Structure 1
Amino acid sequence: MSVAQTLLSQDMCEYCQRFDLLDMLNDAVLLLDAQDGDILFMNQKALELYQYDKSEMKALSITVLSHDAAETTKDQMAMVINQARKGFVFTANHVRKNGTIFKVEISARHLMMHGRNVVAALIRNVTIDAKIREEVAITGKIQRRLLPGDLETVLFHMCTIYQPLQGLSGDLYDVKYDDENRVLYGFIVDVMGHGLVATGQSGILRYLFRQAVEKRVPINGKLAWINNEVIPFFSSGGFAASLLFEFDFTRKILSYSSAGINQFFYLGGEEPAVIKSPGLFLGINQDETYDQSLLSFQSGDSFFFMTDGLFEMIQQPLAHSQTFRSMHELCKNLAVSQAIADDASAIGILIR
């Protein structure tokens, strides 16, 4: 570093030290010489981030702190200068004094200080953010893989729709087909929220559904049992909307019980209909009781059970010409439309 640069560095440090707010920021702050990239100032957060002390600061440059190629760093500095008025935001790989590499987001701007060309940069460590995003993406893939796919039997055809608003979803559905007794059990859930907590709670509900279908109690008794078991997992607040159904293909009877998902579509008879079914959300009241309703069905009838993110997108009343296939296509298109504002999930059942 030249004598002139040393004087500039000292001058800049004296200038910056007047602004105690710089050491109160949660982000690291760097002031760089715009021509050669030498470090003129680092606030306390920056010193901690890069593991240097103030006595070492004057010997540092951006090329020492950066793990990217020197040419890349030079190009980034040039871009900051070219975007002087707008500023420039980019990511880079930086390195600590101990040699550990980490990813940073840099918000930089070229300005004049004391008649000198300076680059002021806010540095944010995004390594943890990137790791979290990666884990969320993996969790989302696992969540999708756990869902049942379309199912075809001599008695029914089942299709499904699953479209999270973001990477993770509070929606979940599951089915279990008892081939020996010719009974199809199904469960659709909409947990409040879209993050990791909602994903975990929906997974617990799926596990409880699998246990509940083995219990020799009516469908509303199964739902009440699920509610009692899941209460501890909603102790910090929140709830889940759900609907539990059972198709008995021997008796040709649909039994269903609702807890917050209070309607579904029935395409049969003279015209399509919305079947109403009241019931309090899961996770609110211990020992809550739920109603059970019955509906007979025949070959050609179809049913669509869905979360409200999709249900509220469907214009009603449905057209008389609506079929199972056209309804499925409508739901698929709505689930990926720009207008969707929530997770969108559905189970469609066509009776053979």
Structure 2
Amino acid sequence: MYENRNNLSDLTFNNRESSKVLWDMKYALDASAIVAITDRKGIITYVNEKFCILSQYTSDELIGRTHAVVNSGYHPRTFFSDMWRSISKGEIWEGDIQNKAKDGSLYWVSTVIVPLLGEDKIPYQYISFRRDITEKKNLEITLQLAYKVYQNMDQGIIITDPTGTILNVNKAYCTITGYSPKELLGQNPKILKSDLHDQSFYYEVWKNLKEKGRWTGEIWNRHKNGHLYLQKLSLTAIRDERDHIIHYLGVSTDISEKEKLRKDIIATGKLQRTLLPPPIDNQWILVDSVYAPANYVSGDFYDYYWDEEQGVLSGYLMDIMGHGLTAALQNSVLRVLFRQTLNHTKNLVEVLSVINKDSMNYFLEGTFAAALTFRLDVKRRTFTFACAGLNKFLRLNTKGEIIVEKQGGPYLGILEDVIFEERTIVINPGEAFYLLTDGFMDLFEIDLPSFSSEVFKENMEMLRNIGTQGLNDDATAIGIMSYPYGEMMT
């Protein structure tokens, strides 16, 4: 503490002493620091030019006021009360303070406040020396924020040195691996090795890292408790200004559950296919189909039943509005309802009415289904159909002309009391019908397909090829062609 009042009083520059040494000291202070002097009540009695430049206030605007004029509101009241408690005891106080300039901009200063004591050992004024640390402090705040983001990311992050020694990991990485930071730091990621990948796999990883600076892929690792998990991993080589690798950065996500779900979805899709009816090729009719889910499982389904004795083919085509497992489950419900309701004798309007009423309990709000049910009687040469949202299909006559048959009908599962209509058309031997869900029909709204009346199987193959071209919707088609009764078509 400074106790020589006479010498310190000279620093208030009241012109009591014209010693060159003291003026040199003032010059040095003004050149190197932001200086302010207050009385024992905190009233400013002196500020230097640097203080004025940084705060954007003139000395006239500052002298006679307290430092509250530059208070930014960042620090709690206890911050300043603790500071005053210290300096009032004659203790030197040091700390970083955020202030606010006249234009409202914020700045940080590293501050040292020195109490000047009288003969009674009580401070009679305070002199503060400050340095502008705004850039440094903003960088610290940015780094602190970055570290918080780093520690709270969902993805696991690992940083190693060029030899692979682990230098840092975040919380997510510890959660994924089961190891604590203490257990991981200083180790090599090899402790996670699952032994499911051969050496050539790791060779390619390191080759890409060194030659291209990055590698991204899926890798199996072993959790601390022994179970295997699949993760998506992105590795990046960090280089210095001399292009030398100084660190490796890894960002990983545990995708084990996603992989399990993907496998379940694929299995569900395979199961759906096993429930589809086989093609029919006999002396009366030729029936084939195309089934192209947009993504493993389909909201589309179809079925048909051939009664050889009666010469009648009954069936349906449906399209659940939506995709994925929910649509697949609703699909299964409707399939059961059609199986229970549709037969060769029941009126098709009655079939749709019963299914619509029964399905109301199985559709979530905002979901519904479109369907078309049909009956082909080869002996009577009639094709009867009723529509519920799938309100049109293609008919190819023996001249090769495509006719778009239309029949209105409400969707299933929206309203309970609705009216469906049944329609019957007379057909000629050799005519074909192509019943299509929206995945196909939306394509043909603009340009009808180039079907040939003589090559039914080629027409179906064309639809099959279209269905493999990555459509945005499930695409399903039933193709039906009637032979002349009792004759085999060659």
1:233 correspondence with 2:362: yes
Q: Of residues 465, 472, 488 in structure 2, which corresponds to 1:333?
A: 465
1:42 correspondence with 2:169: yes
TM-score, normalization by structure 2:
0.63
1:291 correspondence with 2:421: yes
Report the Cα offset of residue 269 of structure 1: 6.5
Deviation by residue 1:204-227 (Cα, 9 ceiling, x = unmatched): 222111111149641011011111
1:139 correspondence with 2:290: no
1:94 correspondence with 2:221: yes
1:266 correspondence with 2:398: no
Residue of structure 2 in register with 1:195 after alignment = 324
Residue of structure 2 in register with 1:106 after alignment = 233
Residue of structure 1 in register with 2:154 after alignment = 26
- What is the distance in 1 between the residues matched to 2:205 and 2:185? 22
For the residue of structure 2 that corresponds to 1:45, the secondary structure is helix
Matched-pair identity in %: 27
Quick one: higher RCO (CA 8 Å, sep 6+), 1 or 2? 1
- What is the distance in 2 between the residues matched to 1:322 and 1:269? 6
Report the Cα offset of residue 29 of structure 1: 0.8
**Where in structure 1 are there 5+ consecutive unaligned residues?**
1-14
Residue of structure 2 in register with 1:3 after alignment = none
Residue of structure 1 in register with 2:179 after alignment = 52
Q: Which moved more, 1:115-124 or 1:282-291?
A: 115-124
Report the Cα offset of residue 30 of structure 1: 0.7
1:220 correspondence with 2:349: yes
Contact 1:306 1:345 in 2 (8 A): yes
Q: Which moved more, 1:15-24 or 1:135-144?
A: 15-24
1:127 correspondence with 2:287: no
Report the Cα offset of residue 290 of structure 1: 0.8
- What is the distance in 2 between the residues matched to 1:318 and 1:73? 50
The change in CA–CA distance for 1:234 and 1:205 in structure 2 (over 3 A counts) is same
Report the Cα offset of residue 32 of structure 1: 1.1
- What is the distance in 2 between the residues matched to 1:73 and 1:333? 39
The change in CA–CA distance for 1:19 and 1:258 in structure 2 (over 3 A counts) is same
Deviation by residue 1:230-276 (Cα, 9 ceiling, x = unmatched): 22221232221110001233433222110111111122366431110
Q: Of residues 463, 470, 473 in structure 2, which corresponds to 1:342?
A: 473
Contact 2:431 2:453 in 1 (8 A): no
For the residue of structure 1 that corresponds to 2:443, the secondary structure is coil
- What is the distance in 2 between the residues matched to 1:206 and 1:154? 28
Task: Describe how 1:132-211 pairs up with structure 2 within 5 A.
Answer: 132-211=261-340
- What is the distance in 2 between the residues matched to 1:286 and 1:222? 14
- Please tell me whether Structure 1 or Structure 2 has the larger radius of gyration of its CA atoms: 2
TM-score, normalization by structure 1:
0.85
**Where in structure 2 are there 5+ consecutive unaligned residues?**
1-142, 484-490
Over aligned residues, Cα RMSD in angstroms? 2.7
- What is the distance in 1 between the residues matched to 2:437 and 2:367? 16
Report the Cα offset of residue 291 of structure 1: 1.0
Residue of structure 2 in register with 1:64 after alignment = 191
Aligned length: 334
What letter corresponds to residue 151 of structure 1 in structure 2? I
The change in CA–CA distance for 1:227 and 1:73 in structure 2 (over 3 A counts) is same
